[in-house]
Structure 1
Amino acid sequence: MNAKQPKLISGNSNKELASAVARRMSFHRGEKVQLCNARVERFNDAEIFVEVFENVRGEDMFIIQSTSNPANDNLMELLIISDALRRSSAARITAVIPYFGYARQDRRTKARTPISAKLVANLITEAGIERVLTMDLHAAQIQGFFDIPVDNLYAAPVFALDIQHHFKNLSEITVVSPDVGGVGRARELAERIGADLAIVDKRRAAPGEIAAMTVIGEVKDRSCIIVDDICDTAGTLCKAADLLKETGAKEVHAYISHGVLSGPAVERISKSAMKSLVITDSIQPTAAILDTPNIRIIPTAPMFAQAIQNIANGTSVSSLFDRSSLAPIYEAAYPAA
Structure 2
Amino acid sequence: MAIKLFSIGLFDEKDELTRINIEVFPDHTPLIHVDIEGFELSTLKLEIRWDYENDSELMDLIYITRYLQDKGVPHIGLTMPYIPNARYDRINNADEVFTLKYFAEVINSLHFDYVDVLDAHSNVSLALIDRVRQIDVAPLIQMAIDDFKPDVLFMPDEGAHKRYSKMFTLPSTFGIKTRDWRTGEIKDYFLAEQNLVEDRRVLIIDDICSRGGTFYYASKLLRDNGATSTGLYVTHCEDNIANGNLLNKEKSGIEQIYTANPLWHRDMTTSVYSPLDEIKVIN
For 1:205 and 1:104, the matched residues in 2 are separated by 15
Among candidates 209, 223, 233, match of residue 201 of structure 2: 223
After superposition, the CA RMSD in angstroms is 2.6
Counterpart in 1 of 2:228? 250
For 2:205 and 2:253, the matched residues in 1 are separated by 15
**Range with bigger deviation, 150-159 or 218-227:** 150-159
1:81 aligns with 2:64: yes
SS in 1 for 2:56: helix
Among candidates 163, 176, 182, match of residue 201 of structure 1: 176
CA distance change for structure 1 residues 165 and 291 in 2, over 3 Å: closer, same or farther? closer
Among candidates 131, 138, 155, match of residue 156 of structure 1: 138
Higher helix proportion (structure 1 or 2): 1
For 2:204 and 2:274, the matched residues in 1 are separated by 22
1:233 aligns with 2:211: yes
Counterpart in 2 of 1:304? none
Which runs of no fewer than 5 residues in structure 2 stay unpaired? 267-272
1:121 aligns with 2:121: no
**Range with bigger deviation, 77-86 or 49-58:** 49-58
Counterpart in 2 of 1:277? 257
Note the C-alpha offset of 1:109.
Answer: 2.2
1:48 aligns with 2:44: no
Higher relative contact order (CA 8 A, sep 6+): 1
Counterpart in 1 of 2:269? none
Q: Deviations over 1:113-137 (max 9, x none)?
A: 2222221111112234332111111
For 1:114 and 1:205, the matched residues in 2 are separated by 18
* Matched-pair contact (CA < 8 Å) for 2:155–2:206: yes
Counterpart in 2 of 1:296? 280
For 2:17 and 2:209, the matched residues in 1 are separated by 30
Counterpart in 2 of 1:137? 120
Q: Deviations over 1:126-150 (max 9, x none)?
A: 234332111111112322212x311
For 2:76 and 2:262, the matched residues in 1 are separated by 20
SS in 2 for 1:111: coil
* Matched-pair contact (CA < 8 Å) for 2:178–2:187: yes
Note the C-alpha offset of 1:166.
Answer: 4.8
For 2:254 and 2:22, the matched residues in 1 are separated by 39
Counterpart in 1 of 2:88? 105
Counterpart in 2 of 1:60? 45
Q: Deviations over 1:204-256 (max 9, x none)?
A: 25632222211121211111111100000111111211221111001101111
* Matched-pair contact (CA < 8 Å) for 1:156–1:188: no
CA distance change for structure 1 residues 144 and 34 in 2, over 3 Å: closer, same or farther? closer
Note the C-alpha offset of 1:265.
Answer: 4.1
With the length of structure 1 as denominator, give the TM-score of the two structures: 0.71
CA distance change for structure 1 residues 141 and 133 in 2, over 3 Å: closer, same or farther? same
With the length of structure 2 as denominator, give the TM-score of the two structures: 0.84
* Matched-pair contact (CA < 8 Å) for 1:175–1:224: yes
SS in 2 for 1:110: coil
For 2:122 and 2:215, the matched residues in 1 are separated by 19
Total equivalences in the alignment: 266
The letter for the 2-side match of 1:277 is: I
The letter for the 2-side match of 1:46 is: H
Higher strand proportion (structure 1 or 2): 2
Note the C-alpha offset of 1:85.
Answer: 0.9
SS in 2 for 1:94: strand
Note the C-alpha offset of 1:38.
Answer: 2.1
Note the C-alpha offset of 1:96.
Answer: 0.9
The letter for the 1-side match of 2:75 is: R
